[in-house]
Amino acid sequence: MPSVRDVARRRRRRRRLVAAVKMFTAKMSVCARTTTATATRGTRGTRRGMQTPPTSSSVVTRCVRASTVRNARVGGACALVGGRANVYDSCGAHGRRTKAIVRAVVEDEGEDEIPVADVNFGRALLIFVAAAYGSLSVCLKLVFESQGAPTAGTLGGVRGLMQLACFLPMLMQPNSTGGEGYKKGRGFWLGAAELALWNLGNQGLCNVALLFTDATRVSFFTQASIAFTPFIATLGGDKVSRNTWLGCALAFLGVAVLGMDGGSAAAAAGLSGGFNFGDWLAVAGAASYSMYIYRVGAFAKEGFSGQGLQIWKAFFLAIMYGAWGLYDVFAFNSGWAGAGIPWAGWRNWEVWALLAFTAVVPGCIADLTQAKGQETVSASESSVLLAGEPLFAAVFGAITLGEFLGPMGYVGGLVIIMGALIASDVFSKKKAA
């Protein structure tokens, strides 16, 4: 998907091309009036035996005018280029001169290239985003391994409130649901609540999965969400490209290969390699995240503000996490079988610091930084940089948790990343404009 900067640059290029053709049309119109007058005098003179002067300039003028009107209706830069080609073919030598004039005008206007420093800064931002997302599962795993760790519901409730506090200034804005031109009303609130539900399914299942498997494996399995996207898009009536299906197949293959490696958690428990309960929960979380991404695009097509939905999604998500946390407290106080202490070590300031970090950095700053970075970096390159998330998780997990995957685990993880890159059309050849 093109960034905001790319869209703006295309619009500027289109305006310059339209202005160039219109300017040439105006010049040719002046010549046409002169030629028409000459042709009229020549026609009168023909009756007296005089030779009629050529009128090819009038043909050129009509061709250019027709092309300008046609391309103005289309309004696309590519259509304008195609229209110019038609003018050149129809008008012969005069068309070749038209091509030279239009190209000269466009070159004189110059191309608004993004400065190299801005591109490199955008790349650095996206690398930071990948590292921030990669640290999430590792930090939550550290919380669960602390003494008197909170339950999954309590952790989600506390972290949800922290994350909501980060978005509170945006919630207080008068146009938090989107400015003019965006749809609002009941559909907006239902959409924000639905996105919160899919996000809860993703992060909530991954939080529980960390109780049974490695943080590195959870991060790799989450990256495999691309495997479910084609099926969801097909059910929604969208057309799926071959690259997307190929990436889907590779992602499924990577999940299978990664599942053959038991990981550190399975080795510590004396289990052989293969899928464990936490792995299946992480895969289910990846499916929920894939549905979340698909619905975000669907709501954008319906005319809802993407930023507004993200802001109010955080509000509904905090309510859902809070309900989950209250359920854990109620189950413990009621003496239900299997209910654990909600948070025995709540006085541990290190756990509070970890939760605050996950809410502020991966939960809020990373989202805003990603939008900023993609303004100057292409979508394909952004996909490559963001695909490094599980690699950062592997590094952080090895340093802080002592987690190491086996050879099959790393091979499976790399196959998943390769599938995600292929599905993002990173390796496809760019079509000539």
Residue at token pair 């003018």: 87
Distance from the Cα of residue 360 to its chain's centroid = 21
Q: Which of 36-45, 119-128, 188-197 has the lowest mean pLDDT?
A: 36-45
101 band by pLDDT with thresholds 50, 70 and 90 = very low
The full set of domain ranges for the chain reads: 4-109, 116-423
Q: What is the pLDDT of residue 347?
A: 92
Which region, left, alpha or beta, applies to residue 172 given φ > 0 means left and ψ of -120 to 50 means alpha?
alpha
CB contact at 8 A, 221 and 283: yes
Confidence band for 27, pLDDT divided at 50, 70 and 90: low
Q: How confident is the model at residue 91 (pLDDT cuts 50, 70, 90)?
A: very low
Separation in Å, CA 433 to CA 1, 32, 425, 430: 17, 32, 17, 9
pLDDT attached to residue 39: 44
**pLDDT for residue 139:** 95
What pLDDT shows up at residue 20? 59
AA letter at 112: D
pLDDT (0 to 100) of residue 23: 62
Instruction: Find out whether 375 and 121 touch, Cβ atoms under 8 Å.
Output: no
For 160, residues 6+ apart whose C-beta sits below 8 A from its C-beta are 317, 318, 320, 321, 322
CA angle 92, 97, 101 (to 5 degrees): 145
* pLDDT at site 423: 75
The single-letter DSSP state of residue 428 is S
Two tokens, residue 19: 């202005």
Choice among 87-96, 187-196, 384-393 with the minimum mean pLDDT? 87-96
**Average pLDDT in the 391-410 region?**
88
Condensed to tens digits (0 to 9), the pLDDT of residues 264-282 reads 554 444 444 567 888 899 9
What is d(CA 12, CA 19) in angstroms, rounded to the nearest whole number? Answer: 11
Cα 68 vs. chain centroid, distance in angstroms? 35
